[in-house]
Amino acid sequence: MRRYSLFALAREALRGHTGWGRAWGAAAPRAAYDAIIVGAGGHGLATAYYLGRNHGLRNVAVLEKGWLGGGNTGRNTTIVRSNYLQDASAAIYEKARSLFETLSQDLNFNVMFSPRGLLMLAQTEHEVRGYRRTAHANALQGVETAFIPPARVRELVPAIRLEGPRYPVLGALWQARGGTARHDAVAWGYARACAAMGMDIVENCAVTGIRVANGAVTGVETTKGPIATRRLGLVVAGHSSVLAGMAGFRLPIESLCLQALVSEPVKPCLDVVVMANTVHGYISQSDKGEMVIGGGTDGFNNYSQRGSWHHVEETLRALTETFPMLSRLKMLRQWGGIVDMTGDRSPILSTTPVDGIFVNCGWGTGGFKAIPGSGWAMAELMATGAPGPLAAAFTLNRFREGRFIDESVAAGVAH
Rounded-to-5 percentages of helix, strand, coil across the chain:
35, 25, 40
- Nearest C-alpha neighbor of 286 from the set 271, 306, 303: 271
pLDDT at 410: 57
The residues pairing with 213 across neighbouring beta strands, listed in sequence order, are: 216
Q: What is the largest CA-CA distance in the chain?
A: 64
CA 103 to CA 185: how far, in whole Å?
11
pLDDT at 359: 98
pLDDT at 409: 57
CA 175 to CA 173: how far, in whole Å?
7
pLDDT at 281: 85
CB contact at 8 A, 157 and 116: no
pLDDT at 412: 45
Each of the 415 residues of the chain gets a pLDDT tens digit; together they read 778 998 888 998 988 888 888 889 889 999 999 999 999 999 999 999 999 999 999 999 999 999 999 999 988 899 999 999 999 999 999 999 999 999 999 999 999 999 999 999 999 999 999 999 999 999 999 999 999 999 999 999 999 999 977 889 999 999 999 999 999 999 999 999 999 999 999 999 999 999 999 999 999 999 999 999 999 999 999 999 999 999 999 999 999 998 899 999 999 999 999 999 887 789 999 999 999 998 888 888 888 887 777 778 888 888 888 999 889 999 998 888 899 999 999 999 999 999 999 999 999 988 999 999 999 999 999 999 999 999 999 999 999 999 999 887 555 444 4
User: Torsions phi, psi of 53, nearest 5?
Assistant: -75, -45
CB atoms inside a 10 Å sphere around CB 106:
16
Which residues lie closer than 8 Å to 134 by C-beta, 6 or more apart?
83, 84, 85, 145, 173, 409, 410
pLDDT at 413: 47
pLDDT at 414: 40
CB contact at 8 A, 79 and 178: yes
User: Torsions phi, psi of 286, nearest 5?
Assistant: -80, 170
pLDDT at 255: 94
The residue type of 366 is G
The verdict on pTM exceeding 0.85 is: yes
> Alpha-carbon dihedral of residues 229, 56, 41, 99, nearest 10 degrees?
150
**Domains recognised in the chain with CATH numbers:** 27-79+85-94+183-252+344-401 (3.50.50.60), 116-177+254-342 (3.30.9.10)
Q: How many residues does the chain have?
A: 415
CA 132 to CA 152: how far, in whole Å?
15
pLDDT at 411: 52
CA 66 to CA 83: how far, in whole Å?
33
- Nearest C-alpha neighbor of 315 from the set 223, 414, 179: 414
Beta strands in 123-277 (DSSP E): 146-148, 171-175, 179-180, 200-202, 207-213, 216-222, 225-228, 232-234, 253-263, 273-276
**Mean pLDDT rounded to a whole number for the chain:** 93
